[in-house]
Amino acid sequence: MGFFEKLVELFSTPEYIDSLLHGFLLTIEISFFAVLIGFILGLIIALIETGKHKWLLPLKFICRVYVTIIRGTPMALQLFIMFFVIFAIRDFPQIVTAILAFAFNSAAYTSEIIRGGILSVDAGQTEAGLALGLSNFTIFRKIVAPQAFKNIIPSLGNEIITVIKETAIVSMVGMYDLNMAAKDIGSGQNMASYVVPMFVAALFYLAVVYLISFAIKRVEKRMRRSDARA
């Protein structure tokens, strides 16, 4: 049987399609919540690291250590640690463990991105706000955050894409994501050929990545309005 016939077989077998969609959904669920939680944690870390109060010093140290550890160890190992050490609790939902593993990882990278974004805003912008008597909170919300965000949209987009692709390693702890679905459908009991299911899984990943790149470009374009010299 050729490639094309295999393709037809895959798309005309309801169980296969079901498996693919299930796997895809899990991939999206893990990615979505991991990115969301990772962003919030990353923002908190970035705010601590760029904060000016003296009492932030010990927290800064903790954040530094955290980021260094996360960035210096393999994601797969972090996932194993979460599954087999920290959340080695019977009946604890696997998906929560996976989401947290990727969120904790993404937080470290996102915090670096956000920190860079905040530092990229010219000090004169903050000083203008201070000189007018605005509060630090207003200055951050109305002046620094929008400018920082505009500068980091492309990097944040990259981070989202990285997380989506990296979630494929949850198949290593037996979770049924898109990657695992492809392997399952291609196995001996099923299609007995990996080529087509893996090709289709690749298309799924590509489609999502493409969609996100597209959305990011749109957002970036909108945010660039204030740069217009017209």
Partner 1 sequence: MQGRKFDQNIEISVRGLKKSFGENKVLNGIDFDLYDGEKVVVLGPSGSGKSTFLRCINRLEEPTSGEVFFENTLISDTNVREMRAKIGMVFQHFNLINNLTVMENLTLAPVKLKKFSEDEASKKARGLLKHIGLSAKADAYPASLSGGQKQRVAIIRALMMDPEVLLFDEPTSALDPESIGDVLDLIHEVVDKGMTTMIVTHEMNFAREIASRVVFIDHGRIIEEGEPAEFFSRPKTPRVKEFLDKVL
Interface with partner 1 by CB under 8 A: which residues?
122, 124-125, 127-135, 138, 142-143, 146-147, 150, 225-230
Tell me the DSSP string of 41-104.
HHHHHHHHHH---GGGHHHHHHHHHHHHHHHHS-HHHHHHHIIIIIT--TT--HHHHHHHHHHH
Residue 139: CB minimum distance to partner 1, A: 10
The smaller minimum CB distance to partner 1, of residues 139 and 160, is found at 139
Residue 118: CB minimum distance to partner 1, A: 14
Residue 147: CB minimum distance to partner 1, A: 5
The smaller minimum CB distance to partner 1, of residues 73 and 125, is found at 125
Residue 52: CB minimum distance to partner 1, A: 10
Residue 200: CB minimum distance to partner 1, A: 43
Terminal-to-terminal C-alpha distance of the chain: 61
The smaller minimum CB distance to partner 1, of residues 18 and 122, is found at 122
The smaller minimum CB distance to partner 1, of residues 105 and 147, is found at 147
| 3-class state of residue 3 by DSSP | helix
The smaller minimum CB distance to partner 1, of residues 98 and 152, is found at 152
Contacts 24+ apart (CB under 8 A), 194-200: 195/3, 195/6, 196/3, 196/6, 196/7, 196/9, 196/10, 197/10, 197/16, 197/20, 200/7, 200/10, 200/20
